[in-house]
Amino acid sequence: MPRLIHLNGPSGIGKSTIARTYAERHAGVLNLDTDRVVCLIGGWRDTFFETFKAAQLLTLAMAEAHLRSGHDVVMPQLATRVIDIQAFEDVAKRCGAEYREILLTADKSVAGARFAARAANGDAATQGIDDVVNGRGGIAVVERIHDQLAAYLPQRPGCAVVPTDGRDAGQTYADVVALVDGVRTP
């Protein structure tokens, strides 16, 4: 049974890194990052939120096509409201796929510091989105997202949580794989 693996968490927490590693190590898995899809649409910087909605529709269609082919999809995507992920859960259900949500988390100050370090590094893969977050308040936005996720989590009893404080990407990746494979929970 194919799986839609949703890696949730604040900007800079490591979702994209873990998703990229997961796809690289699991043949046939689609690393479906909406932040990357939005950057493919012309003018996205000027109309980010409108363009993001279009990118989500594209992401849904891509996820459905790939799941129907019998392959897994790993999706690094921040969601702080249940309504934001309902369409992805519905796609998984329509395709006979399993939906798994894993929240990567860290202490608020750690999450803010990780975002700041990533944004300062100028990683080409995340620079555009980091510019949007910085334009709206930077670390303060990441801290608000942290609070929104804390309120969101009780609404998602099936969501597994992977604390990333004091852990490197390899340790976090191992915990995510264990959860995806149903071996254990951190």
pLDDT digits (tens, 9 = 90+) for 115-150: 777 667 665 555 566 677 666 676 677 788 888 999
Q: Is residue 74 part of a domain?
A: yes
Distance CA 53, CA 48 (A): 9
* Residue 106 falls inside a structural domain: yes
Q: For residue 161, give the CATH number of its domain.
A: 3.40.50.300
| Phi, psi (rounded to 5 degrees) for 59 | -60, -45
User: What does pTM read for this prediction?
Assistant: 0.88
- pLDDT class for 11, splitting at 50, 70, 90? confident
75, 59 Cβ separation under 8 angstroms? yes
User: Does residue 185 fall inside a structural domain?
Assistant: no
Give residue 125's pLDDT: 55
Is 90 within a domain? yes
The 3 state secondary structure assigned to 37-69 is HHCCCCCCCCCHHHHHHHHHHHHHHHHHHHHHC
- The total number of structural domains in the chain stands at 1
In a domain, 170, yes or no: yes
* 10-162-16 Cα angle (round to 5): 45
Confidence of residue 24 (pLDDT cuts 50, 70, 90): very high
Give percent above pLDDT 90 in the chain.
58
- On the question of pLDDT at 19 being above 80, the answer is yes
Residue 107 pLDDT more than 80?
A: yes
pLDDT value for 6 = 97
For residue 88, tell me if it sits in a domain: yes
What confidence score (pLDDT) does residue 10 get?
Answer: 86
Instruction: Summarize pLDDT for 77-99 with one digit per residue, the tens.
Output: 999 999 989 999 999 999 999 99
Q: Is residue 125 part of a domain?
A: yes
Q: Which domain holds residue 96?
A: 3-180
Residue 124 has what pLDDT? 52
> Residue 122, Cα to own-chain centre: how many angstroms?
19
pLDDT at 59: 95
Is 13 a domain residue?
yes
